[in-house]
Each structure stands twice: as C-alpha cells, then as structure tokens.
Structure 1
Amino acid sequence: MASQWSGLLMLLALAGVTMSIDRQARGDNAPPAESRASLAEKARHYFTTDELARGRAYARGRYLLYGVRMIVTLGLFGLLTLTPLSAKIGDLSVSMTGGRVWLTVGLYGLMVAALYHVVTFPVSLYGGFVREHLFGLSRQTLAAWSGDYLKAMLVNTVILLPLLIVLYAFIRRDPVRWYLPVWIVVVLVMTVLAELSPILFDPLFHTFRPVQDQQLVNRLRILSDRAGLTVGPILEIDAGRKTTKTNAYFTGFGRARRIVLYDTLLAASTPEEVELIVAHELGHWRRHHIWKGMALSAVSALGTLWLIARLLRMAADSGRFGFIHPADPRSLPFVLLLLLVLAILTTPIRMAISRAFEREADRESLRLTANPRAFIDSEVVLARSNLSDVDPPRAVVWLLYTHPPILERIAMAEAYLAQQRQ
C-alpha cells in the first residue's frame, strides 16, 4: 500500500512540476487563454479547411505510431528481461567470443540492437517512408530512404557500442559506484558530439553549401550582430531532394557554430520570414538554451545512472532476471527497459522545459526583429509545409510537444502586434 501511495504522489508531483514550468514559461505578458471556439475561428482565419484536416490526420497518425513504437520496444525489452531469451543470447555470445569479456559485451549488444531493428523496422518504414509519401511530404525513393536508415544505424552503432563496452567495464570494476565514472564519460561524449556532429555526421545525410543570396546573407549577418552573436557560415542544406518540409536550425559550438537553412524554406519564404525564423534560433543562443539543456541533461543523466545502479544491484541479488552480477551483459535488456521506462515517465517534464525554451526564443525573435507580422506568416508557412496540427489536444501537447502549438505562438505574436499599435 505504501508503494502505491508513493507512486501516486510521484505522478502528482510530476504533473505539478510540468504545469508549473508551463505557467512560468508563458510569462506575465502572455495572451489570455482562448476558448475552443475562439481557437477554431483563429485556425480558419489562417488555414483552409483542407489544411486543417490534413494536418490533424497527419499528426494523429504520428501520435499513434509513437505509441506503437513505445509498446513494441517495451515488449521487446520486457521479453528479453523476463524470459530465458536473454540468457540464450548471452550464452551464444560467450561461445562465439571464447569468453573474452569486451568482445562478449560488444557482440551481445549488437545482437540486442539487431533484434530491436527487426521489430521496429516496420514502424520506421511505414512512418518514415510510406506515410510520408501518402501525405506528399517525401521525395525519396525507397533505396535512398533505406540508405539513410542504414547510415543512421551505423552512426548509432559507432557511437553506442564503445559506450556499452565502457559501461560494463566500469560496472565490472566497481559494481556499486560505477555510475560516477560512466556519468563523466557520458557528459564528455555529449559535449564532443555537440561540437563535432555538424562536421562529422551531418554531411553523411545532406550536402551543404553557402547560401547564394548575398543580400539575405548580409541581412542575417546584421541580425546576428544585433543579437550579439558571432556565427560561422550561413549554409543551405539540400533538404528538397528528400522532403517538402521546411526548417532551419542553429548548430555547433565555437568554430563549428553555424546557421543552416533548408532549401525548401528559402524557396517558400520571404526574406522577412527567413529572418524571423533565424532570429528564433539566435534567441536560443541569447538565452543560453543549448548550455542550459546540456546542463539539465547532465544532471538528469547522473540521477538516472544512480537509480539504475541501485536497481541493477537489486535485480542481480534477486536472481530473477537471468543474471546474478551487474556486469553480466545479460543485464543489458534490464538496463534498457529501465532507461525506456524512466524516459517515458520524465517525458512531460522534458517537453515542458523544451516548450519553455521555445517560448523564450519566440519572444527573443520578436525583440530582435520587431516584426510580429513576419512571425505570424512564418508560422503559417512552417505549419503548411510540415502539415502541423495547429491546435492539438492539450493532453498531447503536455505529453509529446517540444514546441508550443502553432495557434498559441500566433496568438503571442498577435498580442505583440496589438501592443505595437497602441
């Protein structure tokens, strides 16, 4: 009974923290909450009935696929954890590697990864290729999509497999306090990847070139100077050969810091709209969101690893999960199951923090440009090209949305515009 009450209290605390973050992020100058009827009228003002219906249908399918992927993944890791299957894979790994520890861990990890890709591939194929074509968003052939899928799988393997071997080496060395050195390694890898990913990995999937419109480049340079930021190259990415979606992002640290614009965005937007979208990305840097996000990730990683270390020892002592020592690679499915469950439970908080950052970046973009009309127009362009659900259910926003809904962002810009006119 006590454990049930503690679980309920934890869920209530989670909901309270999430709602508190959302409330504080809206700020004192946020527009008043609108009724469903008012939101529906606003949606019809900016979007056609067909655009609203297609965006809703596309988004709801994505919600469903997200749920299916979670259920399938939980089922796989649960099956491996609670049945003899994990032990059989472990025995096979030992026999194939002659019992050499790091080879056994690596091979076991590869086998589990292969099982994961086998069971989730149908979801990836349908969601990432079939459905994107059904909604007219993809321009990729099946061969091209498959090539990207395999490259992503290879990149993940190159990064994660050494980390897995390091993880179990530290567990073997100190089964109680292994989480501290592993945490240091995770933070270092996270920082290095943030610096090197734009240089090493992004070019594997796209071709980059400097933006050709020199007037636009000069405009964006002036904007970045106004924001007090020094940026490297302003690049155009050949997204249009794969998708009709539009986007822009700011990536990297130090010398690797750069602004990246989709060629589809440049084709679909006015210079004012592009400037506004880039101002939003600059707003993230002005508000130090990248560093704050990394700091929060580091803190949450430490807490997660500490909890897993405790639960892993308890599971090994119980002998109920196919391993009797935390360093046994057969414990990997148990660890992955814990990671997934913790990720699901903390998703509302992570999403609330992300939405808070996005609202701050939105406000910064308006301060930098003083152009709420371009803000509204850019939101409409992004929503149309990406088939956004402009007014999703509040529960879905709370659980899954990294950004505020489109209509909320438009309402914020409308309030700013009204203040300008006073």
Structure 2
Amino acid sequence: MALGVALAVLVPWTTLPDAPATADFTAAQIAREVAFHDEVRPAAYASLGLGLLLLGVLGLTSWGARLVGRLAGRWWLQVVLGTLVVTGLGRLVVLPLSVRNEGVLRDYGLSSQTWAGWSVDLLKGIGVDSAITAVALLAVVGLARVARRTWWAWAAAATAGLVVAGSFAYPLLVEPVFNNFTSLQQGQLRADLLALAKRDGVPVQDVLVADASRRTTALNAYVSGFGGSRRIVVYDTLLKQAPAAEVELVVAHELGHAKAQDVRNGTLLGALGAATAVCVLALLLSWAPLLRRSGASGVGDGRVVPLLLLLVAVGTQLTGPAANLVSRQVEARADTHALDLTGDPATFIAVQRRLALANLSDLHPNPVAYALYATHPSTTQRIALARERQR
C-alpha cells in the first residue's frame, strides 16, 4: 500500500511523444545501430537465461546447499562466502558471452579498454556486488535466527535502512572503485555550469569529471548522492566531444534530477520496494516444500543463500519493467526541466543526436528490449518532446 501511494505521488506520470527515426538520422546511421544491437542483444538474453538457470539449479536442488555448507561451518561465513561463490559462478557461466560482447563493443569503437582493464573491472564488479548482497543477506539470515516469527518485519526495516544508507555511501565508496574523479577545472565552462545551478536554485557540492575514456567512448553524465554528498558527474568523453552549449544542456538535465529530488525520491521508492520484497520473500519461504527442495533447514540456515539469490533474481526480473517505466517517467521530467531552464530545444535535439550516434542508442527498440532494459525514453521520444517546444 505504501509503495503504491509513493509511486502515485512521486512519479510524474505522462505519455511520451514519439517520432520516426528517419526524421533525424540517415539510413546509414540507423542501419549501423540496428546491426550493433542485432549482435549484442542475443547474448544479453542468453546471459539472462543462463544466469537464472544456474541459480535455479543451485537454489532448487540440494547442490547449492551442499556447496555453501562446505565453504565454512559458521552461518555468517556461509552467507558471505556463499554469496561470493555463487555470484562468481554466475559471472563465470556467462563469461564467454561477456567476452564476445566486449569484442563487439571494440569492433564498433565503443570500448577503449584493454583486456587487462576489462578483467580487473569484472573482478571489481563481482566483489562489489557480492559485498552489497552479502550485507543484505546477513541481515535477513541473522534476524531469522534470533526472531523466528517476526524476522520478516525486522528484515524489511533493515533492508529499507540499507537502501537509504547506500544512497549516501554509493557515490563516496563504490563509484571511486571504478572511476577517478576530479573537479572540473577552473574556466568559463565551470563558471557557466555553477551559474546555471545557482539560477536553478539547486545547491551543488561540485561538478566532477569521471575518467570514463579509459574504458569507453560513450558520452554520459549523471547526478548522485543527496544532501552533503550530492554532485554532478560528467564523463570526460562528453567534455572532449561536445561543445560547451551541449554540455550545459546535459548538466541542465542533471539539475532537473536534483531540483525534483529524484535521488531522494528514488531512495524512498527503493526502500519501500526493498521492504515489500522482504515481505513477499517471507511468504514464499513459509512454504515448506520450497525450503526442503533447497536443502536448507530454514531461513536462518546459512545454506539458504542460493535459494535467496534465486528468488531475488526472479523478483528483480519480474519487477524490472515496472522499475524501468518509473525511471523513464523521471527522465522525461528531467528533459522537460532542461528545456525549461535553457529555452534551447535546438541544442537539446543536437545533444540527443550526438548521444545516440556516439553511444549507438537503440533508435527503435522492440517492446521486449524496451521493457527489460530501457531506463530512459528512446532518442526519438526525447527529440519529439523538444520538437513540441519548437512549434
């Protein structure tokens, strides 16, 4: 109930306009992005299927429980090591597909990483994902051991709290694992961006530049953190390839997120979603045949990790399209804010064209790909929004 009310109140629901890609892109440009997505999409679907299959085998048979049980004797070590091993196995089983897709990115000029750097990032990702997941599972399993009847209520509160804490900690602890950040150097662009934020009434701690060019040629910017940790981050690739007016418009979009408190609202929705997920998880785990099938004696058994990871993965996939829908609505509002703040739809359109061509964005995603992966409106939808302002 609380999650439904929050979704109704906090999400700016609207219908997104659209237009044909041929209005802004040549046939060759469209053919290039279609060919690219035709190469990477099958591997993405296959990776998803293989990952779920592995978790199904480990979570719905005694194999997973036996594997985790052999890692350690203490329950908390079983949770930590079990999470690390199962996460690592998940990455290992899809490694050939990941290597193939990295090769495709290189063929299309989207990756600038060495294979050594790519491998290091892969290991970092496993470590970070395992650490975050293990903390949540430690809370669930630990509470189930000390409060067998009411663990779900305490765990729901704990996971909601972890989401809030993560919003503060992520930009300070996790983002630096993958990128180096420096303040945007003194100069006209920095002065203009800070003046834009001041005119918008948005307090910004800093404008940071991420050294994304060491791994990708893609262009991007984002806002993260809130309160004392809020900052706007711009990829160095964007600064190198886009003129100042376009960079300013991209930052205006990010200011839209800050102005609307999207990180705060997203944190609230995430916390409510996590609490709701724990309640659903408790209902599923109350079904004795499911636990017996997993080989675990109960939720307080450290060997329950593979089953928990399976249920979380399935739940994430089932709720993913709804989460992406919410994200697209929020991004559309930030686009509207950028147009209002700059009053420059022509530059907005130029930015969207540049981003689409540099990132090989899917100009006409099929409904399945759009639902599963699209966190932003399509390029044609964003351009159509700007065109409405030109009329």
> TM-score scaled to structure 2, two decimals?
0.91
Alignment of 1:406 onto 2:384: no
Secondary structure at the residue paired with 1:320? helix
State the match for 1:14 in structure 2: none
Alignment of 1:381 onto 2:342: no
More displaced 10-residue stretch of structure 1: 164-173 or 105-114 = 105-114
State the match for 2:29 in structure 1: 51
Matches within 5 A, 1:237-276: 237-276=210-249
Matches within 5 A, 1:282-301: 282-301=255-274
The one-letter code matched in structure 2 to 1:131 is V
Alignment of 1:88 onto 2:66: yes
- Structure 1 CA distance, aligned partners of 2:377 and 2:199? 26
Provide Cα deviations, 1:143-194, integer angstroms capped at 9, x if missing partner: 1111122122222333333332232111112233222222222222222222
State the match for 1:5 in structure 2: none
**Distance apart, 1:22 and its partner CA:** 11
- Alignment check: 8 A CA contact 1:284 1:290 kept: yes
Alignment of 1:72 onto 2:13: no
**Distance apart, 1:61 and its partner CA:** 3.5
- Structure 2 CA distance, aligned partners of 1:300 and 1:396? 23
State the match for 1:4 in structure 2: none
- Structure 1 CA distance, aligned partners of 2:100 and 2:314? 24
The one-letter code matched in structure 2 to 1:366 is L
**Distance apart, 1:336 and its partner CA:** 1.7
- Structure 1 CA distance, aligned partners of 2:386 and 2:38? 26
- Structure 2 CA distance, aligned partners of 1:274 and 1:60? 30
The partner residue of 1:101 within 71, 75, 79 is 75
Alignment of 1:308 onto 2:281: yes
**Distance apart, 1:297 and its partner CA:** 1.3
**Distance apart, 1:231 and its partner CA:** 0.4
- Structure 2 CA distance, aligned partners of 1:296 and 1:201? 21
Secondary structure at the residue paired with 1:25? coil
The one-letter code matched in structure 2 to 1:210 is S
Matches within 5 A, 1:16-415: 24-26=13-15, 31=17, 34=19, 39-42=20-23, 46-93=24-71, 97=72, 99-127=73-101, 129-212=102-185, 214-315=187-288, 319-415=292-388
The one-letter code matched in structure 2 to 1:322 is G
Secondary structure at the residue paired with 2:287? helix
- Structure 2 CA distance, aligned partners of 1:163 and 1:40? 43
**Distance apart, 1:101 and its partner CA:** 2.6
More displaced 10-residue stretch of structure 1: 283-292 or 404-413 = 283-292
**Distance apart, 1:90 and its partner CA:** 3.8
**Distance apart, 1:137 and its partner CA:** 0.9
The one-letter code matched in structure 1 to 2:26 is T
State the match for 2:4 in structure 1: none
**Distance apart, 1:355 and its partner CA:** 0.7
Larger radius of gyration: 1
* Identical-residue share of aligned pairs (%): 35
**Distance apart, 1:382 and its partner CA:** 0.5
The one-letter code matched in structure 2 to 1:239 is A
- Structure 2 CA distance, aligned partners of 1:126 and 1:208? 29
Structure 1's consecutive aligned runs of 4 or more residues displaced over 6 angstroms after TM superposition are: none
**Distance apart, 1:366 and its partner CA:** 0.6
**Distance apart, 1:318 and its partner CA:** 6.5
- Structure 1 CA distance, aligned partners of 2:141 and 2:39? 38
RMSD: 2.4
> TM-score scaled to structure 1, two decimals?
0.84
Which structure 1 segments of 5+ residues have no match?
A: 1-17
- Alignment check: 8 A CA contact 1:208 1:238 kept: yes
More displaced 10-residue stretch of structure 1: 358-367 or 83-92 = 83-92
- Structure 2 CA distance, aligned partners of 1:198 and 1:347? 23
- Structure 2 CA distance, aligned partners of 1:104 and 1:348? 32
